[in-house]
A and B are shown apart, each in its own frame.
Chain A
Amino acid sequence: MFTDARELETGTTLEVDLCVVGAGAAGLAVTLELLDSSCSIAVVESGGRGPSDRTQQLAAGRARGRLFGRNNRYLSATRTRAFGGLGEDWHGSCRALDPEDLIVRSWVPASGWPIDAATLDPYNARARSLFGIDVPARRDERTGLLAADDAFESSWLDYSPRPSIAERFRGRFAQAGNVNVLTHANVVEIALDEGGRRVVDLVARCLDGPELVVRARYFVLAAGALENARLLLASNGQRPHGIGNENDLVGRFFMEQVEMRAAYVALPGQRRAMAGYDAVQAGDGGLHPVRAIMRPSARLQARHELLNSLITFSPVAAADIGELASHVGRLAAATARLDSDSTPDAAAEPYFGAVTLRSEQPPERRSRLVLGAERDELGVPRIDLAWRFDDHVVWSLRTTARLLGENLGRRLLGRLQLRATGRVNRRRFRWSAHQSGTTRMSREPSEGVIDTDCRLHDVSNLFVAGSSVFPTSGCSGPMLTVVALSLRLGEHLRRLLASP
């Protein structure tokens, strides 16, 4: 059921088995595992059914970084405080992390997850099912893909046919007798017991409304990659540095994915194949929407010490690229015709496209959020975010683009024009709103905030869900992995709650 917390009496105390903070994709997926069980659950959500300006203002803060402008609205624009969370602005793309994202790579400092791909696989499959993308792949028949290669791989990026998280789950949560979704309730403090090893309750406040307390056996923070860390840091009444922050790691290793408008391509005879890359192909005939993407293979990454990146194409007119583009396309066709085995397609009108690369960033300890001096309307310190990424990201993006150009040339597929060759600027580079890493998962408390069960290393009943637990971000959108990890956490909590 849903309860508008503003209508409760001040001083109301709710006692439940499980309290989940945040009704975004992570919080809802954790709760799904326990829907219609004998456990009582409170889901505490800051917003209502849709976002409101005043509630969004609670997310505002200061964000600094080379791709942020002055007076930017990054913090409030990239996060949504409402039922469904950021999932309401999600376009539905679902892609698991690549296997190499999870392993230690010598050229990526602090890389490697403490869980492996095999651990995630069954939960990825369940997440795919939840999003309606578990249908058999008959997709190659719709359109072609560029031929396989050991340097650059092409594959289909799946899109959920119903990307609205709220729409997908609202009915089930409204009907569930054991779940109470408290809307308009903003958690402002997490209280520990005297020993500081166990959460006793948390305090939530409404704008112009009552203050309430939620007591539970277990708590899950699922408020978003930045808000999870903010809540831990702001709950510093008993531990001066915040909860779970004995090793000064909460808020650190903040990661974004860096996008670069990297290049243009002229690919003679490839118009049909590139139709799959150009835009999301509508789902029809029982198939979900897809879009073709490329990425450097694990082998190429290792050989050149590249970061993982995802490559997308969008069509452009030759005239928009420049005077020489048409000639380059025709020269590429003429070169392809030198091959006595070339097909007539090689001479066809070239495909012209813009190439965008999206890269992971290596985990960076200095990239962090702290509590700022300003406070929000409810008295919680606002976020002061310093996003840092080193030149490896820029070098890797540029090198990947150049290698793609050489690869297309070698395979007689076409030619590539590099765009972002000058200094890093916001015309060519941007953030992707894929935030992660502020409460990273680790085996050892000295290396991260939570353990492999997503529980805080030093608090026995406090768990974290969402992309804040990612040790590395990969280049995929985080949604599928967030939901997979949350389903796994929900399963873990179900076992814990089953014991007295």
Chain B
Amino acid sequence: MKTISRRTVLRHLATGLGVSALGLPACRRSDFAELIDALAALATDREAAGAIGRAFLDEYPDEERDRMARRLALELDWRSAMPAADLASALLLRIERDFRDAKTVLVNAWVLSQTEARWAALITLA
């Protein structure tokens, strides 16, 4: 059985993730870069994503790069070296679930999934 040190617990708490995220290895800033690159690679239209990402960040200035990446890593159950097809499936599933659960944001009054808006924002920041 995996043991968790007190130090690990404190580190996770300090990053705001809490105990639920303890199993997630992708918490280091360097890992976010890999995730963001992987997400950017999925965008077949980076210009459009970039435009929406900028509009989202303008309207939601509190959204910060590492926090968005951390949240997406959690929600997509992302692992380092995750196959692109698996990440695409997870991203699509999450976007569909967002719409189903009304987890949406308004960007210039467009009803977008929270996940896709953050996806677009991370592409902007990549």
Q: Interface of A with B (CB < 8 Å)?
A: 322, 324, 326-331, 333-335, 337-340, 402, 405-407, 409-410, 412, 415-419, 421
A33 to B47: give the CA distance in the assembly, Å.
Answer: 66
Cβ contacts under 8 Å, A324 to chain B = 51-52, 55, 107-108, 110
CB-contact partner of A409 in B43, B52, B89, B111, under 8 A:
B111
Chain A interface, DSSP helix/strand/loop, else mixed: helix
Given A417-B108, A418-B109, A421-B109, A334-B102 contact (CB < 8 Å): no
Q: Does B91 sit at the interface, judged by CB under 8 A? A: yes
Nearest CB on A from B4, distance (A): 34
Nearest CB on A from B91, distance (A): 6
19 sampled A-B residue pairs with Cβ under 8 A: A322-B108, A324-B51, A324-B55, A324-B107, A327-B51, A330-B45, A330-B48, A331-B45, A333-B44, A333-B45, A338-B91, A340-B85, A340-B88, A402-B111, A405-B104, A409-B104, A409-B111, A410-B99, A417-B108
Contact A409 B112 (CB under 8 A): yes
Contact A331 B48 (CB under 8 A): yes
Q: Does B96 sit at the interface, judged by CB under 8 A? A: yes
Find the A residue at minimum CB distance from B100.
Answer: A410
Q: Does B69 sit at the interface, judged by CB under 8 A? A: no
Nearest CB on B from A352, distance (A): 12
Contact B92 A338 (CB under 8 A): yes
Cβ contacts under 8 Å, A416 to chain B = 110-111
CB-contact partner of B104 in A331, A338, A406, under 8 A:
A406
Cβ contacts under 8 Å, B100 to chain A = 406, 410
Contact B120 A331 (CB under 8 A): yes
What are the 3 A-B residue pairs with the smallest beta carbon separation, nearest first? A405-B111, A330-B48, A410-B99
Starting from the known contacts A406-B102, A406-B104, A415-B110, 14 additional A-B residue pairs (CB-CB under 8 Å) come to A324-B55, A324-B108, A327-B48, A328-B112, A331-B120, A334-B44, A335-B92, A338-B95, A406-B100, A406-B111, A409-B98, A409-B99, A417-B111, A419-B109
A327 to B104: give the CA distance in the assembly, Å.
Answer: 18
Cβ contacts under 8 Å, A415 to chain B = 110-112
Contact A418 B106 (CB under 8 A): yes
Find the B residue at minimum CB distance from A322.
Answer: B108
Interface residues on B, range: 20 to 34
Cβ contacts under 8 Å, B85 to chain A = 340
Cβ contacts under 8 Å, A410 to chain B = 96, 99-100
A405 to B55: give the CA distance in the assembly, Å.
Answer: 19
Cβ contacts under 8 Å, B98 to chain A = 409
Cβ contacts under 8 Å, B45 to chain A = 330-331, 333-334
Find the B residue at minimum CB distance from A333.
Answer: B45
Residue with the greatest number of chain B CB neighbours at <10 A, chosen from A330, A331, A335, A338 = A331
Find the A residue at minimum CB distance from B42.
Answer: A338
Cβ contacts under 8 Å, B99 to chain A = 406-407, 409-410
Q: Does B49 sit at the interface, judged by CB under 8 A? A: yes
CB-contact partner of B52 in A331, A338, A407, A412, under 8 A:
A331
A141 to B45: give the CA distance in the assembly, Å.
Answer: 34
Cβ contacts under 8 Å, B109 to chain A = 417-419, 421
Find the B residue at minimum CB distance from A347.
Answer: B44
A282 to B117: give the CA distance in the assembly, Å.
Answer: 41
Nearest CB on A from B87, distance (A): 9
Nearest CB on A from B89, distance (A): 8
Nearest CB on A from B104, distance (A): 6
A330 to B110: give the CA distance in the assembly, Å.
Answer: 13
Cβ contacts under 8 Å, B116 to chain A = 331, 335
Cβ contacts under 8 Å, A335 to chain B = 92, 95, 116
Residue with the greatest number of chain B CB neighbours at <10 A, chosen from A326, A330, A419 = A330
Contact A331 B49 (CB under 8 A): yes
Cβ contacts under 8 Å, A322 to chain B = 108
Contact A328 B104 (CB under 8 A): no
Cβ contacts under 8 Å, A333 to chain B = 44-45
Nearest CB on A from B9, distance (A): 35
Find the A residue at minimum CB distance from B44.
Answer: A334
Nearest CB on B from A331, distance (A): 5
Residue with the greatest number of chain B CB neighbours at <10 A, chosen from A322, A324, A327, A417 = A327
Find the A residue at minimum CB distance from B88.
Answer: A338
A407 to B48: give the CA distance in the assembly, Å.
Answer: 22
Cβ contacts under 8 Å, B113 to chain A = 409
Nearest CB on A from B124, distance (A): 12
Find the A residue at minimum CB distance from B91.
Answer: A338
A340 to B42: give the CA distance in the assembly, Å.
Answer: 12
Find the A residue at minimum CB distance from B46.
Answer: A334
Nearest CB on A from B86, distance (A): 11
A477 to B43: give the CA distance in the assembly, Å.
Answer: 45
A421 to B44: give the CA distance in the assembly, Å.
Answer: 32
Nearest CB on B from A294, distance (A): 16
Cβ contacts under 8 Å, B55 to chain A = 324
A193 to B14: give the CA distance in the assembly, Å.
Answer: 88
A334 to B92: give the CA distance in the assembly, Å.
Answer: 10
Contact A417 B48 (CB under 8 A): no
A415 to B107: give the CA distance in the assembly, Å.
Answer: 11
CB-contact partner of A334 in B43, B106, B108, B112, under 8 A:
B43
Cβ contacts under 8 Å, B43 to chain A = 334
A17 to B89: give the CA distance in the assembly, Å.
Answer: 74
Find the B residue at minimum CB distance from A415.
Answer: B110
Residue with the greatest number of chain B CB neighbours at <10 A, chosen from A335, A340, A412, A419 = A335
Cβ contacts under 8 Å, B44 to chain A = 333-334, 337
Contact B52 A327 (CB under 8 A): yes
Nearest CB on A from B92, distance (A): 4
